Structure formats: structure tokens, C-alpha cells
């Protein structure tokens, strides 16, 4: 049985790696997810039936019941969740993963452990608890339940001192061979509080980075429990999640031209940044769906810049219909994709792939930027901070130096927004006051449908 279980774990590990590889492309991502999930299912079934659990028979019934309930809940969430809510769902799942690691640590702590085992278990408790409470705060912010970023005076100093105290308390428990339930529960409570203090001051614009970092911590917590149980599939799975989360975290930081330390300690994207942002002055030009349709109808090339507003309005099918209609009129159409457009990297790619937009038309920032100067019309739908020229020409702006889509180089720019409210980063967009820019106000889906109706009549 031990050999059979080892083979199952090896197969599961291979499916994790292969599935992760397939997730790198929208056309294969679904299959990759299915392969990795199948591997996880094999590992779970193998552990239950082939591992010597040494537990009463009714425990298997409890395990089976828990798995069944989890399957039903997961299936219902998966079929009901909207694409706009995917970041919140990822944050929620991160939190549950961290909570699992913390609970395992609580159950296993004590029992005449060696110091090394105590270190492993307490690491799982601390990291798991921080991930859980931090992810819940991130979920609340993304879900609109917590709009205000709470910042205590000298919050960075407070957080750092608290974290050092957390480590010191852990060392005290280990050095005193503590098996005290009171001490371990106090450690759990302290780690939960630190998770809240860690995330609560970070501004909304940085939530995608924070979620990715917390996802990495969930993987690290899983790997730690794998070390404790000497379970290779838990260890490899945790390492894959942890490393992938860190790579994604640093990739997003590069896309925003900011360091991870600046994200964590800089409090970008909150009220203080918005108040310190330089005021943009000038006049704006409004346009109508009719005028925009005429402009697009006689264009040779149109580039669409999708943003979170497109996702919120669930206008992905409408924008694909607009693209197809323009192509029937011999207009070249492409989509410009910024690395951090939406709320997560790849958010726009997945959203548009859902409507069967050809992947070749989704062009990354570095490849599409040289094309803007030869583009007749750029149609910005719900994007804001990723097209703000202040990143290039305003050293006082918080996003100065951030790589953006160079839409200001196009011949004509149409920006679809509900209002003139600032974007997710809370700063004014200079693009709206550009002489080549016309503002097309309204809900993205309704506006695009109006454009389609106008174009069909031409």
C-alpha cells in the first residue's frame, strides 16, 4: 500500500506541474485546471484509503461527509461567481487555505514535540492565521464592505514591532518547552491581529498585489505542513503555490514600477494619496454614440482598451460583437492589454476569452504601444490608471514611472466612463483633458450596444 500511495503522490505531483504549465495560456487554462484538480482528487482518495490513518471507522464517514459538503459548496460557488468577483473569490480561498494550516498546527501542537517540530507547527499557525485574517480584510475591501483604509499613526512602526513581538513570543514558547493551550491560543490570536494590521492600511489599488502575496503565504503554509507530515504531495503543491504567488507578486510590482516594500509600507491608492495628487485642470469634450460610431466606421484601425468598468458592466459579449461588426466593415481591431488591467493579472484576457475573442487579438502592452501612433481611434472602456499619461510626465504623481498604455499617441481617443470620478488608485487622469480625447459617458454595456445599433445603420 505504501508503494501504491507513493505512486499516486508522484502522479498527482506531475499533474500539478503540468496543469500549472497549461494555465499559462487561455486556450489551455481550462484543461490545465481540470488536470491539476484530477491530481488533487487522486491524492485525497489515495490518502484516505491507502494511508494507515489508525482511526475509528466512523471517522471515514465524517471525512466523506466533509468532502461531499465541500464539493457541493465549491461547485455552487464556481457556477454562480461572476468574473468581476473572481479576485474576491481568490482572496476568500486564500483565507480558507491559511485557516486550514492554522487549524492543523493547533491540533498537532504539543504531544512531547521536539523543538524543530514545534518550530514547524508554530510557523504553520502564524503564517496560516496571518493569511486567513489578512485575506478576509482583502476580501472585504474588494467586496465594497470596507471602503476606508484605516491607518494608525506610525502604523508601519506599530506593525513591525508587533511582528517582532510575535516572533519573540513564539521563541519564548519553544524555549520553555511550552505545551500550554493558553499560550498557543494567545499566539493564534496575536497572529490573527497582525494579519488585520498588515492588510488594513494598504490602499485599494494595491489589493491585487496583496492577494497574490497572501496566496503565496497560503502555499508556504501548506508546504510547512507537508514538511511536518513528511508528505511529498503537500510539500510540492505548497511550493508550487508559494513560488507561483511570489513570481506573480513581483511581476505585478514590476508592471506598476514599484517595489514590494513600497506596496506594503507605502499605502498607495488610499485617501492620503488622492489628497496629495496634483489637481489636473482643463476642459473636457463630450461625445455621443452616434458621433463615435461615425468615427469608428471610417477608421482603418481601432484599438480597444478594456478595463474593470467593462467587467463590472458585463459588456464583454457586447464588445466582441462591436469588434466583429467593425471587422465586417474592413476595420482592423485589436485589444490592448495592460498587465494589471482589471483586478488581477490576466483578468481581461480571461474575460474576453470567455466570449471567444481570438487570442491573437489580445496584444500585451509592450507589443501594442508602438502601434498607437498609427491608430485612428482608441476606445478606452472602463480603464483609468493604466492609460494615465501622468505616469510619463508628472513626477509629482504617485504613479509616475509606472508603465502604461500609450493611448495618448493615437489620432483620436474615446473614453467610456460612467462619470469623471477617479479610478481605483484615486488620482485624476490627464488623458481626459487631452485635446484628442472625447468622453462618452454611460454604462459600458448600454453604450456599446448603442454603438452597435448606430454602426448597423450605416
Cα–Cα distance for residue pair 117/324, rounded to 1 Å: 61
Residues 6+ apart with CB under 8 A from 277: 396, 397, 398, 426, 427, 428
Cα–Cα distance for residue pair 352/345, rounded to 1 Å: 13
From the CA atom positions of the chain, what is the Rg in Å? 25
Residues 6+ apart with CB under 8 A from 133: 95, 191, 192, 193, 194, 195, 196, 199
Q: Where are the beta strands (DSSP E) in 279-321?
A: 301-306
- Give the strand order in the sheet containing 301-306: 362-364, 332-337, 301-306, 377-381, 412-417, 437-441
Q: Answer whether 206's CB lies under 8 Å from 137's CB.
A: no
| Per-residue cell: 145 | 464592505
CA distances from 225 to 119, 231, 404 (A): 11, 8, 41
| Among 149, 206, 277, 385, the one annotated catalytic | 385
Q: Where are the beta strands (DSSP E) in 59-178?
A: none
Q: Answer whether 264's CB lies under 8 Å from 167's CB.
A: no
Cα–Cα distance for residue pair 207/224, rounded to 1 Å: 25
Question: Is 367 noted as a catalytic residue in this protein?
Answer: no
CA distances from 50 to 42, 54, 60, 164, 400 (A): 11, 11, 12, 42, 57
Alpha helices in 362-413 (DSSP H): 365-368, 390-393
Cα–Cα distance for residue pair 439/150, rounded to 1 Å: 34
Q: Which active-site residues does the annotation give?
A: 385
Amino acid at each position: 500500500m505504501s508503494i501504491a500511495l507513493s505512486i499516486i503522490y508522484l502522479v498527482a505531483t506531475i499533474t500539478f506541474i503540468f496543469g500549472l504549465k497549461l494555465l499559462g495560456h487561455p486556450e489551455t487554462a481550462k484543461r490545465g485546471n481540470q488536470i491539476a484538480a484530477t491530481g488533487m482528487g487522486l491524492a485525497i482518495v489515495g490518502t484516505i484509503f491507502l494511508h494507515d490513518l489508525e482511526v475509528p471507522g466512523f471517522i471515514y464517514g465524517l471525512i466523506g461527509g466533509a468532502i461531499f459538503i465541500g464539493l457541493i459548496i465549491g461547485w455552487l460557488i464556481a457556477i454562480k461567481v461572476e468574473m468581476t468577483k473572481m479576485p474576491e473569490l481568490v482572496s476568500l480561498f486564500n483565507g480558507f487555505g491559511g485557516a486550514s494550516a492554522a487549524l492543523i498546527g493547533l491540533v498537532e501542537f504539543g504531544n512531547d514535540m521536539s523543538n524543530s517540530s514545534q518550530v514547524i507547527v508554530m510557523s504553520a499557525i502564524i503564517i496560516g492565521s496571518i493569511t486567513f485574517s489578512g485575506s478576509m480584510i482583502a476580501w472585504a475591501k474588494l467586496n465594497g464592505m470596507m471602503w476606508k483604509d484605516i491607518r494608525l499613526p506610525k502604523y508601519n512602526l506599530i506593525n513591525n514591532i508587533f511582528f517582532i513581538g510575535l516572533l519573540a513570543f513564539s521563541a519564548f514558547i519553544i524555549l520553555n518547552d511550552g505545551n500550554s493551550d493558553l499560550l498557543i491560543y494567545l499566539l493564534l490570536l496575536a497572529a490573527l491581529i497582525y494579519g488585520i494590521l498588515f492588510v488594513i492600511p494598504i490602499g485599494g489599488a494595491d489589493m491585487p498585489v496583496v492577494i497574490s502575496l497572501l496566496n503565496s503565504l497560503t502555499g508556504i503554509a501548506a508546504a510547512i505542513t507537508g514538511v511536518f507530515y513528511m508528505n511529498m504531495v503537500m510539500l510540492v503543491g505548497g511550493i508550487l503555490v508559494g513560488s507561483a504567488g511570489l513570481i506573480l507578486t513581483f511581476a505585478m510590482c514590476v508592471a506598476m514600477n514599484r517595489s514590494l516594500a513600497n506596496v506594503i509600507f507605502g499605502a498607495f491608492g488610499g485617501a492620503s494619496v488622492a489628497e496629495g495628487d496634483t489637481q489636473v485642470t482643463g476642459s473636457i469634450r463630450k461625445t455621443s454614440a452616434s458621433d463615435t460610431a461615425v468615427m469608428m466606421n471610417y477608421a482603418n484601425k481601432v484599438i480597444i482598451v478594456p478595463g474593470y468598468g467593462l467587467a463590472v458592466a458585463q459588456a464583454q459579449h457586447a464588445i466582441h460583437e462591436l469588434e466583429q461588426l467593425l471587422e465586417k466593415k474592413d476595420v482592423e481591431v485589436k485589444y490592448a492589454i495592460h498587465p494589471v488591467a482589471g483586478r488581477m493579472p490576466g483578468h481581461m484576457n480571461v474575460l474576453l476569452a470567455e466570449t471567444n475573442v481570438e487570442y491573437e487579438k489580445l496584444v500585451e502592452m509592450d507589443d501594442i504601444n508602438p502601434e498607437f501612433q498609427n491608430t485612428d481611434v482608441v476606445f478606452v472602456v472602463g480603464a483609468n490608471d493604466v492609460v494615465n499619461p501622468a505616469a510619463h510626465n508628472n513626477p509629482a504623481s504617485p504613479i509616475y514611472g509606472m508603465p502604461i498604455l500609450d493611448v495618448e499617441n493615437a489620432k483620436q481617443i474615446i473614453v467610456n466612463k460612467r462619470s469623471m470620478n477617479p479610478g481605483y488608485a484615486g488620482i485624476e487622469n490627464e488623458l481626459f483633458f487631452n485635446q484628442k480625447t472625447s468622453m462618452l459617458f454611460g454604462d459600458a454595456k448600454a453604450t456599446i450596444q448603442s454603438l452597435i445599433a448606430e454602426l448597423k445603420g450605416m
